[in-house]
Structure 1
Amino acid sequence: MSKYLVEFAALATAHFVALISPGPDFFLIVGTSVREGAARAVGLCAGIAAANGAYIFLALTGFAFIKQTPLLFTALRTAGALYLLYLGLMLLKPSQGPVRSPLAIEAKRSATCRRRLFTAGFLSAILNPKNAVFYLSLFTVIVSRETPQAIQACYGVWMVLAVFFWDLSIARLAGSEKVRCRLDRHAPWIEKCSGGVLLLLGAVLLLR
């Protein structure tokens, strides 16, 4: 058991270091939270966590062909770059309303918004080829082949929850009413900066 605890500690540390490094998902969460609020950004965080879970599942089941097939990897990277460019352009568009959302929102509209944000988060993470390579490498380098599948599955569940709650904490900080009230004047610039970073990341990924 101590062997697995050491293995889990190494895996969790490497994962958390990667998690706190700002990437496309971070800027998407900040830009969306400032624009639409922390409550709506929950769907976005859930979508990102679900995509990470999909890659963890692939890593656990041995689908290393993503990393070993250059054509598939290139196609995934290109699709991801184009989607980042799209997200960047969406954040650069002027907000459709004030930063502080009305408290009363129709249920149907709210459900549609959650689905839209979940899809945006899922696509952002699933179309990032670095996620595929990261999880495949993580399980290949750190996790022993002798580790039971049940324990590896527990590792995976931990990482999915870590992604969700970390992203949720970012969304709640950036999208809290107190922060948004203070950032009311600067919110358009925060959105534009987040959109600009996503455009830059997409362009770099596309040109590599």
Structure 2
Amino acid sequence: MSKYLVEFAALATAHFLALISPGPDFFLIVGTSVREGTARAAALCAGIAAANGAYILLVLTGFAFIKQTPLLFTAIRTAGALYLVYLGLMLLKPSQHPVGSSLPAEGESGGTTRRRQFAAGFLSAILNPKNAVFYLSLFTVIVSRETPQVIQVGYGLWMVGAVFFWDLLIARLAGSEKVRYRLDRHAHWIEKGSGGALLLLGAVLLLR
């Protein structure tokens, strides 16, 4: 059991260090939270966590040919880059709800909005081939072949939970009413900066 605890500690540490490094999902969460508030961004976080879970499941079931198939990897990377460009352009559009004003009531197409945010988060993460390579490398390098499948599933569940709650923390910090009002003069630029970062990341991926 101590062997698995050491293995889990190494896996969780490596995963968390990657998690706290700002990437496309981070900028998408911040931009959405500032624009629409924490409640709407929570569905976005759930979508991102679900996509991470899908990649972990694929890795656990032996889905290693993404890394070994250059054409497939390139196709996923191109689709992901184009989607990042699209998300960036959406955040660069004028906001319909100024930061200082009230957010739209949850009853106003709330279910549709949550589904749309979930889909946006899922697509953002699932179309990032780096996630597939990261989890494949993580399990290949750190997790022993002798580790029982049930324990590996436990590792995966931990990482999915870590992704969701970390992203939700970012969303709460960026979308809380106190922060929104304090950032009244700067939220526009934070939102546009997030959109610009996503646009730049997508463009760099397309040009590589």
Q: TM-score range by the shorter chain?
A: over 0.9
Report the CA distance shift for 1:127/1:103 in structure 2 as closer, same or farther (over 3 A): closer
Task: Provide the TM-score with structure 1 as the length reference.
Answer: 0.97
Q: Which residue of 2 aligns with 1:13?
A: 13
Aligned pairs, number:
208
Question: How many angstroms apart in 1 are the aligned matches of 2:64 and 2:55?
Answer: 10
TM-score of the two chains, using structure 2 as the length reference:
0.97
Q: Which moved more, 1:185-194 or 1:14-23?
A: 185-194
Matched, 1:156 2:145: no
| Ranges in structure 1 where 5+ consecutive residues have no aligned partner | none
Superposed CA deviations along residues 162-182 of structure 1, whole A, max 9, x for unmatched, are 000000000000000000011
**What corresponds to 1:99 in structure 2?**
99
> 8 Å contact 1:31–1:191 — kept in the other structure?
yes
Matched letter for residue 132 of structure 2: A
Question: How far apart in 1 are the matches of 2:83 and 2:31?
Answer: 15
Structure 2 residue aligned with 1:40: 40
**Distance change in 2, residues 1:202/1:163 (3 Å):** same
Change (3 A) 1:205 1:63: same
Which letter maps to 2:121? G
Q: Which moved more, 1:143-152 or 1:92-101?
A: 92-101
The answer for unaligned runs of 5 or more in structure 2 is none
Q: Deviations 1:92-150 (Å, cap 9, x if unpaired)?
A: 00001222563672535111110010000000000001000000010011000100000
Match of 1:143 in 2: 143
Paired position in structure 2 for 1:167: 167
Q: Is the 8 A contact 1:37 1:100 kept in 2?
A: no
**1:111-130 equivalences in 2 (<5 Å):** 111-130=111-130
**Percent of aligned positions with the same letter in both sequences?**
85
Is contact 2:36–2:103 with CA below 8 Å preserved after alignment? no
Whether the 8 Å CA contact 1:36–1:101 is kept in 2: the answer is no
Partner-residue secondary structure (3-state), 1:107: coil
The two structures, once aligned, show a CA RMSD in angstroms of 1.1
Amino acid paired to 1:59: V
1:57 aligns with: 57
- Kindly provide the amino acid, as one letter, of the partner of residue 77 in structure 1: R
